[in-house]
Amino acid sequence: CRELARMADRADSEIRSELVQTIGKTGSKESMPLLLAMISDPSALVRSQVALALTALGGDDAAQAILQRIPLEREMRPRVQLAVASKRLKLLAAVGPLVDWLADPDPNVVASAGDALRSLTGLSFGSDHAQWSNWWRQAQTRN
């Protein structure tokens, strides 16, 4: 993993993405610091692969990194992977931002956010932003 990390530092975004994918496939917890550092890589492709790798590794560090990245992410590919990560890691703290993502103009983001919300909450409002927003406001006032 260390050698792959050194290679990633010097590579272009497509190769960095492939290296992150390879690192993720190792399943090595030793790769966590590298992945955490790359979650805010300038390349959306790399950030997408980092989200996938963190999802595979799991654990508190991965969950925190995903939750911290969600409100910052603006591009489609990473948003889709972050929604998938939220679903697979059962990150209930991601519900609010995922509701917001239902207003995204990209249908892939909307579909991923809706799927994650359905899985996390057990509710089935599809990708209806208004229904989810209304439910979320009501849930927030109850707490």
What integer pLDDT is reported at residue 104 of this predicted model? 97
Query: Quick one: pLDDT band at residue 122, thresholds 50, 70, 90?
Result: very high
Who has greater pLDDT, 101 or 6?
A: 101
Tokens encoding 136 = 């979320």
What band does 5 get if pLDDT is binned at 50, 70 and 90?
Answer: low
Pull the structure tokens for residue 141.
């006032």
**Whole-angstrom distance, CA of residue 90 vs CA of residue 16:** 28
Give the number of other Cβ atoms within 10 Å of residue 16's Cβ.
22
Q: Could you tell me what percent of the chain has a pLDDT over 90?
A: 69
How much is the mean pLDDT over the chain? 90
Q: Is the pLDDT assigned to residue 140 strictly greater than 90?
A: no
Residue pLDDT, tens place only, 95-112 = 999 999 999 999 999 999
Q: Average pLDDT of 39-53? A: 93
One-letter amino acid of 62: A
**Structure tokens, 98:** 């995922």
| pLDDT tens, residue by residue, 65-78 | 999 999 999 999 99
The pLDDT of residue 48 is above 80: yes
pLDDT at 58: 92
What pTM was estimated for this model as a whole?
Answer: 0.89
